[in-house]
Amino acid sequence: MAVEGVIDIMAAAPGCMGTLYDGAMRGVHRDAIARYGGLVINKQHKGNEPQFYESLRRGRCTHELWAASGRIAEKVPLVDATAELVPVPIKRLERRGVRTFRWYHVLAIPCRHGVHEHRVGVGTTSRKGERPPGESDEECGFHRAEHLQQIPEFTRTHQLVYPYRSDAESGHAQLDASLWNGRLISYGVEAQQLLTLGFVLAQNSTSRALHEEGAPTLRPTA
């Protein structure tokens, strides 16, 4: 229902870039929205374990790439015979396509032989027939949309954008608080829609007025 809702809103609201959601949205849901051209910004599901992705061979070197925490990481051996998955820098996020979309991370893999640029699909899981025979994610058994996110959790962009989700929650709490005993004062879908519209207009007007005034200075509390 949420996926259908997001796609409906995107169709009706040009400029809507996607959705912020909690961990309940998994690969299969992100796939549908990403194919439609939208972004899904959420946290990885807790049980998501790192997966081997590929061994990248460039010239004389090999880089062992894994999918971990929603992005590509390189397995780096340490002196004590253990290894660590070090996230690979993402140079940019790309969207390609016209009616159905594909998303990519352009990676800049650090290396003593010079940085390797490498493009990796993210956000959608390719199906049989969408790639040369035997190469689709479906045939390879790799759930790409589950393991590689458009905007992975531990990135600056995620940290800047994701908090708007809690902002939505506080908006909902304020709607509840603005009504006596948290009860709706209107009967029927149309009247309730009008009430919600009025509330949202009032919220947006207040936000706009505050924004134009400049952010208020927060006084430290004892």
Contacting positions for Zn ion (CB under 5 A): 61, 111, 113
Please, what is the minimum distance in Å from the beta carbon of residue 155 to Zn ion? 23
Q: Which is nearer to Zn ion, 43 or 63 (CB)?
A: 63
Judged by CB, which is closer to Zn ion: 111, or 175? 111
Which of 115, 127, 96, 119 shows the shortest CA–CA distance to 31? 127
Give the DSSP H/E element, type plus range, for residue 118: strand 116-122
By beta-carbon proximity to Zn ion, the closer residue of 85 and 111 is 111
Strands 116-122 and 61-68: unpaired
- Residue 83 or 210 having the CB closest to Zn ion: 83
Least distance in angstroms from the C-beta of 64 to Zn ion: 11
Specify the DSSP element, H or E, that contains 83: strand 83-87
Strands 71-77 and 61-68: antiparallel
**Closest separation in Å from C-beta 199 to Zn ion:** 56
Residue number with the smallest Cβ distance to Zn ion: 111
Q: How far is the CB of 38 from Zn ion (least distance, A)?
A: 34
Name the residue nearer to Zn ion (CB basis): 7 or 111: 111
Specify the length of the chain in residues: 222
- Least distance to Zn ion, CB of residue 66, Å: 16
CA–CA separation, 147 and 221 (whole Å): 42
Which residues touch 136 (CB under 8 Å, ≥6 apart)?
126, 127, 128, 129, 130
